[in-house]
Amino acid sequence: MAQGNIKKLLIANRGEIAVRIIRAARDLGIATVQVHSEADKDSRAVRMADEAVNIGPPQAAKSYLDVQAILKAAKESGADAVHPGYGFLAENAAFADAVVEAGLIFVGPSGDTIRLMGDKAAARAEAQKANVPTVPGSDGVIEDMEAAAHLAAHIGFPVMIKAAAGGGGRGIRIAHDAGEFHTLAPQASSEAKAAFGDGGIYIEKVIERARHIEVQVLGDGEDVVHFFERECSLQRRRQKVWEEAPSIVLSEDVRTQLCRSAVALAKAVKYKGAGTIEYLYDDVTGEFYFIEMNTRIQVEHPVTEMICGADLVAEMIAIAGGAKLRVGQDAIRRTGHAIEVRLNAEDPANNFMPFPGIVGELLAPDGPGVRFDHMLYPGYAVPPFYDSLLGKLIVWAEDRDKALMRLKRALGELRIDGLPTTAPLFQALLESDDLRASAVHTRWLEPWLEDNLDLIRQKGGSAT
């Protein structure tokens, strides 16, 4: 049976998340329309969907970022809702507005909410109003570089200079003293202007050896529940590569405070759909600080689904179709431990160079507690035009030690012939004493990579 007002859903995305959305829609009895560029005409999502519409050339700007082409596809196919996935237009407030103005349902929060929480300075102000702890820093966007320099000196170095708009690690610099600040602040502003059309910056105190903890929330515009936290501290160039749920370093008291603060903030902005509220956690003091909200489903949502037994994508579709929250907070339980690793078509021993190519033999790991969300099939030509993510390998077990063992087993079973992947990185990481003890932080991985290239090569990475 179709879910509420949604009978046909258009997926305005590609790759593994498109496959994931199609499956959730089918579980709800909803027909699917997959838009695609010319480069993706033979993609797995196109093969799986009930209908497919070509919306343009391979370049994302002429296809997946073309709002009018997507809306035309929705109208001509008879779709009544649009799911943006993650990336591309997922956090574009103008796109959300355009979908609604075209008489369609946007699967996600309103354009106004995306706009508010997408502006990091405005989101910080909302967090403060909701009594959610924030990192010491500027109260809003700073345009005057001299004023910014004085504030940085007052906060105390090192400080992080961040773009007020955008994400993905762009428009971010760390200044260790006043001299570096005067050099890096204009760079961050210029990069943000070029990438997001907004050169506004704000400043935050750098928390040494911080962990990245995030809370999954789900709201219906009135009520909000949380599905506990994930830890995403293993990052390269501020991009996550390995995620876990739950974080084993949090006490139950801190976990309760963290999750309650996330719900309070989401309620304050009348959040609708699935979203994630991200924090820095200070291992030394046990304090946590809000940094931003992602107003979409995230790449790492499966680890939360595994420990909570939920289908977050189906829930956000149901809410968009008019349903109220279908689960109360008291009914949400977490069990065991889950780990996700991101498998990219990159060579981790050769500066993570992307390697599009044709998939040869494909052996997907399976068995108890193993999940492989991906976009692959033998003979599929991975295009060179987009993000290199091929899929995610997710494991669950009763505790973290068993989950690490299961991940080792699953990586050993995985075979993707025809192109290098980041699998050797994770096989090498499993031998790290620090990782096994969860003695990591957001700046731990990059030095480890420099020291362990030979080990990664031994596990199957590049020999060059």
> Angle 88-344-86 (CA atoms, 0-180°, nearest 5)?
20
Q: Which residue has the tokens 């305005």?
A: 12
- Please report which helix (H) or strand (E) contains residue 229, including its range: strand 224-236
| Chain centroid to CA 4 | 27
Q: What is the pLDDT of residue 290?
A: 96
CB 296 within 8 A of CB 108: yes
Gyration radius of the chain's alpha carbons: 21
- Residue pLDDT, tens place only, 288-310: 999 999 999 999 999 999 999 99
* Better-predicted residue by pLDDT, 457 or 166: 457
SS3 109: coil
High-pLDDT (> 90) share of the chain, %: 84
Q: Which residue has the tokens 């959040």?
A: 271
**Cβ neighbours of 279 (radius 10 Å):** 26
**Cβ neighbours of 286 (radius 10 Å):** 12
Residue 296 has φ and ψ, to the nearest 5°, of -165, 175
Residue 421 to residue 252: CA distance in whole angstroms: 37
pLDDT at 461 over 70: no
Does 211 participate in catalysis according to the annotation?
no
Residue 415 to residue 110: CA distance in whole angstroms: 41
Q: What is the pLDDT of residue 166?
A: 59
Q: What is the pLDDT of residue 463?
A: 40
- Residue pLDDT, tens place only, 54-83: 999 999 999 999 999 999 999 999 999 999
pLDDT band at 2; cut points 50, 70, 90: low
CB 107 within 8 A of CB 83: yes
CB 321 within 8 A of CB 82: no
Alpha helices in 350-444 (DSSP H): 400-413, 423-429, 433-436
Spatial CA neighbour of 220 closest among 293, 114, 325, 328: 325
For β-strands 224-236 and 239-245, DSSP reports them as: antiparallel
**Cβ neighbours of 248 (radius 10 Å):** 11
Residue 139 to residue 314: CA distance in whole angstroms: 37
Q: What is the pLDDT of residue 464?
A: 36
362: β partners: 416
CB 199 within 8 A of CB 191: no
pLDDT band at 189; cut points 50, 70, 90: confident
> In this structure, is the dihedral angle defined by the CA atoms of residues 290, 292, 293 and 294, taken in order, positive or negative?
negative
pTM strictly above 0.85: yes
Residue 272 has φ and ψ, to the nearest 5°, of -130, 120
Q: What is the pLDDT of residue 145?
A: 83
- Lowest mean per-residue pLDDT among 51-55, 205-209, 340-344: 205-209
> In this structure, is the dihedral angle defined by the CA atoms of residues 102, 107, 113 and 119, taken in order, positive or negative?
negative
Residue 127 to residue 112: CA distance in whole angstroms: 16
pLDDT band at 199; cut points 50, 70, 90: confident
Q: Which of 296, 342, 371, 406 is catalytic?
A: 296
CB 422 within 8 A of CB 346: yes
- Please compute, for residue 264, the number of CA atoms within 13 A of its CA located in the half-sphere on the CB side: 15
